[in-house]
Amino acid sequence: MTQSTKNVRTRFAPSPTGSLHVGGARTAIFNWLFARHFNGEFILRIEDTDQERSTDESITEILDAMQWLGLDWDGKPFRQSERLNIYQEHANKLLESGHAYKCYVTPEELEEKRKEAQSKGEVLRYKREWAKLNESPNNPYAIRLQTPDEGTIEVQDLLRGTITFDASEVDDFIILKRDGFPTYNFAVVVDDATMDITHIIRGDDHLINTPRQVLIYNALSYDIPQIAHVSMILGADNKRLSKRHGATSVVAFKDQGYLPEAIINFLSRLGWSYGNQEIFTKEELIEKFTLDNVGKSAAVFNEEKLEWLNSWYIKNEPPEKIGELVLPLLKEKGLNIDIDEKLIKIIKELSQRAKNLLDIADTIDYFYADGIEFEEKAKSKFLTPAIKPVLSDITERLSDLSEFNTDEMHKVFDQVMEERELKLGKIAQPIRVSLTGGTVSPGIFEVMDILGKDEVLKRLNKALDVIPNEDVSN
Ligand code: GLU
């Protein structure tokens, strides 16, 4: 693979017709990594020439998602709708050089011709002589590129080599519409050329556009950037990833408690690999990413792997950072707390098993509850009259401790187990239910350590209060 990498400049060029989806995010990540790897520039271009489908809301969403992922771009984002004069100038240049011509046929006439062709079972092919229909200085016109009638158009792809297209399959297409707006292919080429883009990395769904773009480059005498078409992302069923497969927008993953580090790591690995390594920091990705290790086959979006990566990052990022991310979720639930020693201890425990931030936010309540509620099933199974004397014994001994730390707690439990010939398995759940209200929590010693002596005794005593005494009458 020959890659010239002088002054690398890549771009991400989303059409703002919805939120940023994982496929687009992967494209953005590849372009960003490639630029950062070669100390080049990464620019952001909003392709909003489809006025009906483009929205400002979508632009905000895409920019927010990029920022959340940490994909910083250089300079101000470009907006195609603010560059109409540049496209018009280029189209005029092509009119002057004879590479393009004015076409007066109306969209309605074309539609009629399309229907006619369809009724004969044919696909409409544009005929050059239709350009003259309605020709008059006052009539509106579109500008079409004059394309070769025969021969081949070659596309050089960094991943796939030379791909040859039959020129006869490309008819004279519109570059500038009657309303003065460029078509997608024209705007992309004018922009990539005038923005000095050196490398284009995009999904292979764009491969069908590339021969048209090559013709435009040639007509304008611009150099063609190096292009890599990356295979699309597939769902678990090997069909192209779409909304049918569940959440696919970056913001949906954010809302589900995913960390940007996990998403970046996961998406970078869709189509790119580096030996068997699975975990990559951003810095490592920048250091290691080139197109050499981008494969040709389609990558499958394995949600379990994403979940695994997310839990890895939750466990391994500093608890202070996880705390900062969890705080707003707790606020939403009405729990207004600050990052303090207690929260950090809790995060350290809960992050061992959390798959996402919601897992932490949703299971933290009992640490802060003033009077916990017992889950009915847990209560009837574990807070039984038979265990009451044991709980009471433990409560008393814990209350006698002058140092309330896990070593001392262990000693208390060891003594009680030995004297009563009980295993920890018999005692742990009743204690857990007493302290947390339920049957799932970090280790009971860790929970006790976090709650502190007063709160532990308060909760154990409350549990003792609700357990009926053993019926000794028979
Ligand atoms: N605006 C196009 C899209 O969102 C991308 C164009 C390109 O990368 O060439 O699919």
pLDDT at 6: 64
The DSSP output letter for 362 is: H
Q: Which atom of ligand 1 is nearest to the CA of 209?
A: 9
333, pLDDT greater than 70:
yes
Which tens digit of pLDDT belongs to each residue from 190-230? 999 999 999 999 999 999 999 999 999 999 999 999 999 99
- Burial of residue 167 (number of CB atoms within 10 Å: 0-12, 13-18, 19+): middle
Strands (DSSP E) along 47-151, which ranges? 78-79, 100-103, 142-145
Cβ partners under 8 Å of residue 123, min gap 6: 117
Hey, which of 9, 10, 42, 47 would you mutate to test ligand 1's pocket, going by the most ligand atoms within 8 Å of its Cβ? 47
SS3 percent helix, strand, coil of the chain, rounded to 5, is: 50, 10, 35
Per the CB < 8 A criterion, the answer to whether 188 and 215 are in contact is: no
Annotation: CATH topology of 1-78+231-316: Rossmann fold (3.40.50)
Per the CB < 8 A criterion, the answer to whether 245 and 266 are in contact is: no
Return the higher-pLDDT residue of 316 and 248.
316
- Please state which of the four CATH numbers 3.40.50.620, 3.40.50.2300, 3.30.300.20, 1.10.10.350 is assigned to the domain occupying 371-474: 1.10.10.350
pLDDT at 236: 86
Average pLDDT along the chain: 95
Q: How far apart are CA 267 and CA 399, in angstroms?
A: 52
243 assigned to active site: yes
The confidence band for 1, taking pLDDT boundaries of 50, 70 and 90, is very low
The rounded Å distance from CA 24 to ligand 1 centre is 9
Residue with the smallest CA separation from ligand 1 atom 9 is: 188
One-letter amino acid for residue 304 of the chain? E
Beta bridge partner(s), residue 229: 202
| Ligand 1: lining residues by beta carbon, under 6 Å | 13-15, 47, 188, 202, 206
For the CA atoms of 100, 104, 110, 116, the dihedral, rounded to the nearest 10 degrees, stands at -100
The DSSP output letter for 279 is: -
Per the CB < 8 A criterion, the answer to whether 409 and 398 are in contact is: yes
Return the higher-pLDDT residue of 273 and 6.
273
Cα dihedral sign, 244-271-38-263: positive
Sequential DSSP letters for 363-388: T-HHHH-SSPPPPHHHHHHHS-GGGH
Could you tell me which of 163, 229, 223 has the C-alpha nearest to residue 201? 229
Q: Which atom of ligand 1 is nearest to the CA of 192?
A: 9
The rounded Å distance from CA 65 to ligand 1 centre is 17
Hey, which of 184, 191, 206 would you mutate to test ligand 1's pocket, going by the most ligand atoms within 8 Å of its Cβ? 206
- Other CB atoms closer than 10 Å to residue 214's CB: what's the count? 19
Which tens digit of pLDDT belongs to each residue from 229-264? 999 999 988 888 887 787 789 999 999 999 999 999
Out of 115, 132, 243, 381, the active site residue is 243
The rounded Å distance from CA 14 to ligand 1 centre is 6
5, pLDDT greater than 60:
no
The confidence band for 471, taking pLDDT boundaries of 50, 70 and 90, is low
474, pLDDT greater than 70:
no
87 is written with which tokens?
């496209």
The rounded Å distance from CA 360 to ligand 1 centre is 38
- Burial of residue 430 (number of CB atoms within 10 Å: 0-12, 13-18, 19+): buried
The rounded Å distance from CA 188 to ligand 1 centre is 8
First to last CA, the chain: 88
Which tens digit of pLDDT belongs to each residue from 24-41? 999 999 999 999 999 999
Per the CB < 8 A criterion, the answer to whether 240 and 232 are in contact is: yes
pLDDT, average across residues 446-450: 97
Strands (DSSP E) along 114-271, which ranges? 142-145, 152-157, 161-166, 174-176, 199-203, 226-230, 233-234
Work out the percent of the chain whose per-residue pLDDT is above 90.
92
Per the CB < 8 A criterion, the answer to whether 451 and 430 are in contact is: no
Sequential DSSP letters for 186-211: HHHHHHHHHTT--EEEEEGGGGGGHH
Hey, which of 15, 61, 195 would you mutate to test ligand 1's pocket, going by the most ligand atoms within 8 Å of its Cβ? 15
The rounded Å distance from CA 17 to ligand 1 centre is 12
Which tens digit of pLDDT belongs to each residue from 129-151? 999 999 999 999 999 999 999 99
Residues constituting the chain: 474
pLDDT at 206: 95
Q: Which atom of ligand 1 is nearest to the CA of 14?
A: 4
Q: Evaluate whether 1-78+231-316 and 371-474 have a shared fold.
A: no
Hey, which of 189, 202, 208 would you mutate to test ligand 1's pocket, going by the most ligand atoms within 8 Å of its Cβ? 202
pLDDT, average across residues 88-92: 98
Q: How far apart are CA 259 and CA 281, in angstroms?
A: 13
The rounded Å distance from CA 12 to ligand 1 centre is 8
DSSP-derived 3-state class of residue 157: strand
Q: How far apart are CA 234 and CA 226, in angstroms?
A: 25
- Other CB atoms closer than 10 Å to residue 105's CB: what's the count? 20
- Burial of residue 437 (number of CB atoms within 10 Å: 0-12, 13-18, 19+): buried
Q: For the chain, which residues make up each domain, given as ranges?
A: 1-78+231-316, 319-368, 371-474
Which tens digit of pLDDT belongs to each residue from 39-52? 999 999 999 999 89
Q: Which atom of ligand 1 is nearest to the CA of 12?
A: 8
pLDDT, average across residues 41-65: 96
The confidence band for 2, taking pLDDT boundaries of 50, 70 and 90, is very low
Q: Which atom of ligand 1 is nearest to the CA of 11?
A: 8
